[in-house]
Amino acid sequence: MNIAAGGENLASGPTKKAKVTGPTVGAGYAKALFDLAVAKGADPALLLGCAGIAPKDFADADNRIPLANHIALMRGGQALSGDAALGLHFGETNLGEYSVVGLIADASKTMGHALVQLNRYGRLVIEVDVGEEGERFRVERVDGEAWFIDTRRDPNSFPELTESTFARMASHTRQFGTDDKPWVKGVRVTHAEPPYRAEYDRIFRVPVVFNCDRNALLIDDDWTAYKVARTTRYAFGVLSEHAKALLEELETAHTTRGRVESLLIPILHTGEPNVERIAAKMGQSRKTLYRKLKAEGTTFAKLLDELRHKMALHYLDGKKVSVNETAYLVGFSDPSTFSRAFRRWTGASPRKRLAQDAPPRTRV
């Protein structure tokens, strides 16, 4: 890396921002890496110059930074901080401190459920080229053993992402195992052994094999059933001081609508709020639920749409999550679809709502 060239580019001023067409990372994720490198001694201005990133790129939580610039940020951070193991050390940071994805994983009932959510929300953090099945992570049995596999293609072009991902999985979830029964029992990576091998041993505490045919963690057979839920199942309500109170209010409601809404709120983010699932939780048939809602002047589809509207306002007005994160939290897999729905609900864009002062709350 030509650090001097990076400094010259910075001195000449930022160039016009080009349209992002390839894979990207979330601004919050890149900013966390930047902060770590600076904390370890990297010069902020030089580092930004090396990465081709302007300070304003970090200002908007919904901003996307090209993956190539993020890789340059990692490499510049390594050089300027003198920490060659920066990727591993980035993995020791808590994702929940700078991305809602970490909160979602922490609020999952089990590790298996957390895996589903990581695959669903992962592109909010970083977009990567994955295997044919379209999911970055999967659990697979090979020769009678359970493996947690990262299906990312061309991983050796950016091995630091493998390092940070696996270090985060091992260190942040270590509490779910025990010394006698650790949930991670081995590590396999496709890249060559680096000079800082000792850091692998410190972080993973299990055998690590390099130059393998896949990036995978050997895990305990019962891993998917491990209980997570370090936060309550209403963790998403914590993102808005009003949502938890709303949920508690709904749970005491005697109407069918109130009961349905109370069951929907904790699962909106899963993208699976279907009527069959809710009817089963209420111990009645789909037909019976439809009939009761109709008697109250509504339908399941209308109720769900209005609840998404209500929760979107809570999240945006709380100003603790971005527009894209709000889209996923209320059950939209595509932020653009959410934006269209929000315009239908309010006549304005969600970004405009987020930017303005929170208006007085009205019942939706």
- pLDDT reading at 104 higher than 80: no
* β-strand partners of 25: 65, 126
What's the pLDDT score for residue 288?
95
Nearest residue to 67 via CA among 80, 45, 51, 81: 51
User: In percent, how much of the chain has pLDDT > 90?
Assistant: 52
Average model confidence (pLDDT) across the chain: 84
* β-strand partners of 216: 149, 188
What's the pLDDT score for residue 175?
61
What's the pLDDT score for residue 54?
95
pLDDT grade for 183, boundaries at 50, 70 and 90: confident
H or E stretch covering 218: strand 215-219
Angle between helices 27-39 and 44-51 (to 10 degrees): 140
Tokens standing for residue 21: 């067409």
- What is the C-alpha separation between 82 and 76, in angstroms, rounded? 10
Nearest residue to 259 via CA among 310, 296, 287: 296
pLDDT grade for 10, boundaries at 50, 70 and 90: very low
Over residues 191-244, the pLDDT tens digits come to 999 999 999 999 999 999 999 999 999 999 888 888 775 554 445 554 555 555
What's the pLDDT score for residue 348?
93
- pLDDT reading at 9 higher than 50: no
Tokens standing for residue 353: 């709502």
Q: Dmax of the chain from CA atoms?
A: 72
- pLDDT reading at 343 higher than 90: yes
- pLDDT reading at 347 higher than 50: yes
What's the pLDDT score for residue 118?
86
CATH for the 235-355 domain, from 1.10.760.10, 1.10.1380.10, 1.10.10.60, 1.10.287.3510: 1.10.10.60
Domain ranges of the chain: 3-83, 128-225, 235-355
Cβ–Cβ under 8 Å, residues 23 and 65: no
pLDDT grade for 70, boundaries at 50, 70 and 90: very high
Cβ–Cβ under 8 Å, residues 251 and 266: no
Nearest residue to 212 via CA among 184, 193, 195: 193
List of residues 6+ apart from 133 with CB closer than 8 A: 151
- Give this prediction's pTM: 0.74
